Amino acid sequence: MQIEELTGQVETHLAHFNSRVAIHQKVIEPFLALQNEAQKSGFNLQIASGFRSFERQRLIWNNKFSGKAPILAKDESQLSAEALSDYDKLLAILHWSALPGASRHHWGTDFDIYDPSLLPQGKSLQLICSEYQKAGYFYELSQWMNENMQAFNFYRPYQKYQGGVAIEPWHISYHPIAKNCLNALTETIIHDLIINNNVFGKSLICEQLPMIYKQYICNINDSKD
């Protein structure tokens, strides 16, 4: 995969899954197979969020860093951006949101899944852990995914908390391609992209990039977990 594809700057590796979601062109077939298998068990497996561009991730990042968008603590309560040092703000944002250029959503191999038919009337999708845990709307879907997705080469890179990114039971990844993308995404690629774009906190990001790369980019759950 080319650098521009790895970092979400182009869409040449993508195909439209539907009118609003694009994913990697080589992932459509395996996901359709997974979706079909889920349907046999009574689930309407759908993608809530697929490819996300560098510009979209940069906007999310800048809005949080500037205080225009909420920054959440690990318990999902809202933090006061003004009360945080830039370093603490950096860590708080990274717990929930990827650095622009380093989001797995750039690759088209990773997406957020749900079943719209399981949402109670009047409820909108939030993508929070309680929706996928016991007594949550998507608990049974999540359990089904645990038992079946690896047969189609999908796994959850954020299945367990390891001191980096938060647990994301809704986030699945197509391992055969995603592992190669992660191997190709180097610190140098990320550093050059951050330096050459309007990313808030860029000096701090570049200073802390070795830690960020190790703790928040490469620190994922093994696909066999």
What CATH number corresponds to the domain at position 9?
3.30.1380.10
Percent of the chain with pLDDT over 90: 91
Q: Which residues pair with 172 in a beta bridge?
A: 111
* 199 lies in some domain: yes
* 177 lies in some domain: yes
* 23 lies in some domain: yes
* 145 lies in some domain: yes
CA torsion, ordered 86, 88, 92, 95, to nearest 10 deg: 110
Give the least confident one: 16-20, 29-33, 101-105, 176-180: 16-20
* 225 lies in some domain: no
* 191 lies in some domain: yes
Q: d(Cα 159, Cα 177) in Å, to the nearest integer?
A: 19
* 222 lies in some domain: no
- Place 124 in a pLDDT band, splitting at 50, 70 and 90: very high
* 223 lies in some domain: no
Domain region containing 80 = 3-217
The total number of structural domains that make up the chain: 1
Interval 128-183: pLDDT, tens? 999 999 999 999 999 999 999 999 999 999 999 999 999 999 999 999 999 999 99
Number of C-beta neighbours around residue 115 at 10 A? 19
Burial of 23 per CB tally in 10 Å (0-12, 13-18, 19+): buried
pTM of the predicted structure, to 2 decimals: 0.94
pLDDT of residue 224: 53
